Chain A
Amino acid sequence: MKKILIVFFLLMGFSLSAQASLKTFACEPEWGALAKELGGEKVDVTIATTALQDPHHIQARPSLISRLHRADLLVCTGADLEIGWLPVLLRRANNTKVQPGKPGYVEATSAIALLDRPAKLDRSQGDVHPFGNPHIQTNPHNILKVAQLLGQRLIQIDSDNADYYQQRLTDFNKRWNKALQRWDEQGKALKGLPIVVQHNGWIYLEQWLGIKRVATLEPKPGVPPSTTDLSKVLNTLKAQPAKAVIRAAYQDERPSAWLSDHAHIPKLVLPFTVGGDAQAGDLFKLYDRTLSLLSTVK
């Protein structure tokens, strides 16, 4: 029995040392994709959620505990988006490398000046985020800032490969800046486009493209809209018509379908993050796809 145990532990040890790459735990697909862009073959990325899951409502599943336990680097949105599950995971995973304050703990929102910081904190206002709206990935300009933060951390944690990461970061910056020019140019046509959103998760997109949010289906953040709420939005639309109702792939389809039927405007499922639909397979395609979907309703 003892021998078997020893062999078991030795094997486990070998399998650990054989994988020398930097283990990265990403809370959301966009940060997983960014870590792959910046880390290339030197990182081994595991992503806690898919584009079809609501990052607010994840549970600290056993598999996530063991994945975080073995991570060298954690990259999450932060700003309380993962407040329900990340603190539990961090406590259960027993991994000092990725605790807040350590270089291995990266909060993407710490690189961004957040919008929508509530003036008043009260749960009667819904599930509000005290530090501001955390859905920063809807504006590609924010990705560039997060890339600098993540790139620096990769260099800091895995200094043996610093040159490799630096070179990839420079290369990413170059490609992203080029893409940004293209997206900004495409986005000009969307300026002033009036839309309805299901959850207030698009504020950075609205700001970037100058899109006008006429109404939000959720009466308060995180509270599912009732028929009364939807009728109110319908009334608003009579005075201020909108061109489309927008939701993320993971959100319940029924509220926006109801509005789409009653207001006779198209309902649009935007990818929201990498993998949100078949055409949004990587970070670059995410914005290509978002813009091409938006231009269909212009």
Chain B
Amino acid sequence: MKKNILFAAAISCMAPLCHAETPQDIAQLKQQLKDIQQNYKKQIQSLEDRIEELESQQVNNQPAPAPVQEQSRPNAFNPAIALILEGRYQTFRKDLGDSIPGFSVGSEAGNGDQGFSLGESELNLQASIDDLYYGNLTLSLADAGGSTEVELEEAWLQTQALPYELTLRAGRFFSAIGYMNERHTHTDDFADRPLPYRAMLNTVYKDDGLQLRWLAPTDTFLELGGELMRGAQYPAGGSANHGVGSWSLFAHTGGDVGVSNSWLLGLSYLSADTRERESGNGSNPDLFTGDSNLAIADLVWKWAPQGNPYRHNAVFQGGLFWRDESGKFAPGGQNFNIYDGNQFGWYSQVAYQFMPGWQIGLRGSGLSADDTGASFAGTALDNLGHDPWETTAMIVWRHSEFSQLRLQYTHDEAQLLSDDRFILQYIVSLGAHGAHQF
């Protein structure tokens, strides 16, 4: 650059003006030189700016990666497919059967068979239907009475773009009452559900209907919702009121405490109007017609140091259940008697991961039923003066996120005689990545 300036100055010197004679001329020449220098400085600056700009653009404008060319595939819109396989080996010290004194339980509430058995093999498909709906289907294959049966566990669609913070779900779904009720058993921390879920909800209450949720636009998580359902499944039954036999209300709230803790609190109420609801012995069922109302309060508390659960984490869970049933009860389907009884249930459990892949857990759960008096003596509703309870311990090993092996021991005081049960269980998931639900 300097060379150019000198050159320019030299050229200008060839002009006659260069023959400076007066100090004025010299000053003028100096001024001219200064002007030229400034002009150059400006031009240099603008060129430099331009280069810098172009350079940055060049970096930015690197060609985007060419999209992978794939052949036309009719299955490109296939939903996410996930398969859960579960199997177990169980051994009981006594095998006292499935009854729980004071409760006429549903068909799924039992302990299952001894020896080798397959649990539910579950197939789940889900995808967006369009910009408004999301769809989900879960089929389960399980052995029942010597033959393999397909059960439609869930088949629902859910809105994705409803205004006013609302979400509507329609179809068959797991009711949102109770933390565990909404979740599939393969996501549980234990191989079976605690006593109140088994005795009062037949492990899970699912039914056909509508569910509406409202998510509050607040920093603290608050979700309110309600359901209207057919009332065909235990604890409902008989699809009363022209097929709208049960309804529920629920509220969920949760948040974080510091970076290491988070919690979720739920309050739920389920009211079912039942018509000859079947329970107890499958071939000679008890019938119940009347109102079954259930209230649940539960809390889940999760801890992980710095919010990083990889090495250590703990999950505490607890729930309280109150049920009030009133109406007519016919033990074994014979002779309806007036029945009004309250029942109470609780569970409390903790699962602790003590090193990557390894988790241990402890659980206690119990029930208590009203004394229903002489009219139901000797039936399932006879509490025999005993409050059922059990304690459970388990250890689980996860080789990866997709497989787990669990060993579980239960000391069972559900009946007058105690029992001890061991379960060895595997659960694996194939296909679409499972969701890390809270």
Tell me the A residues contacting B by CB distance below 8 Å: 12, 16, 49-50, 52-54, 57-63, 65-67, 69-70, 80, 83-85, 87-88, 91-94, 96, 99, 111-114, 123, 126-127, 141, 144-145, 148, 173-174, 177, 180, 222-224, 250-252
Contact = CB atoms under 8 A, between A and B. Distances in A.
B436 A69 contact: no
A224 B435 CA distance: 21
Interface string B133-160: 0100000000000000000000000101
Contacts of B262: 61-63
A138 B165 CA distance: 38
A93 B215 contact: yes
A50 B306 contact: yes
Contacts of A69: 165, 215, 217
A49 B34 CA distance: 59
Contact of B436 (A88, A91, A96): A88
Interface in B157-210: 158, 160-162, 165-167
Contact of A12 (B59, B64, B218, B255): B218
B402 A16 contact: no
Contact of B264 (A62, A91, A126): A62
Nearest to B429: A123
B302 interface: yes
Contacts of A53: 306-308
Contacts of B400: 123, 126-127, 222-223
Interface string B248-274: 000011111001001110000000000
B220 interface: yes
Nearest to B163: A96
Contact of A62 (B65, B162, B255, B401): B255
Contacts of A113: 64-65
Contacts of A180: 59
Contacts of A92: 215
Between A60, A62, A69, A83, the greatest number of chain B beta carbons within 10 A of the residue's beta carbon is seen for A62
A54 B217 contact: no
Contacts of A252: 310-311, 356
A295 B252 CA distance: 51
B75 interface: no
A260 B52 CA distance: 44
B219 interface: yes
A250 B254 CA distance: 25
Interface size for chain B: under 10, 10 to 19, 20 to 34, or 35 or more residues? 35 or more
Contact of A57 (B134, B165, B220, B436): B436
Interface string B397-438: 001111000000000000000000000000000100111111
A63 B254 contact: yes
A93 B255 CA distance: 14
Given A12-B217, A52-B306, A250-B310, A60 B436 contact: yes
B217 A91 contact: no
A111 B357 CA distance: 35
B308 A66 contact: no
Contact of A52 (B217, B308, B402): B308
Contacts of A63: 219-221, 254-256, 262
A92 B264 CA distance: 15
B135 to A, nearest CB: 12
15 contacts: A60-B438, A62-B221, A84-B401, A84-B435, A85-B436, A88-B437, A91-B134, A111-B64, A123-B400, A127-B401, A144-B59, A174-B52, A177-B56, A180-B59, A222-B400
A190 to B, nearest CB: 21
B428 to A, nearest CB: 10
A87 B217 CA distance: 20
B318 interface: no
A100 B403 CA distance: 30
Nearest to A49: B307
A56 B175 CA distance: 29
B220 to A, nearest CB: 7
B161 to A, nearest CB: 5
Nearest to B428: A123
Contact of A54 (B161, B215, B308): B308
B219 A66 contact: yes
Nearest to B132: A96
A174 B60 CA distance: 12
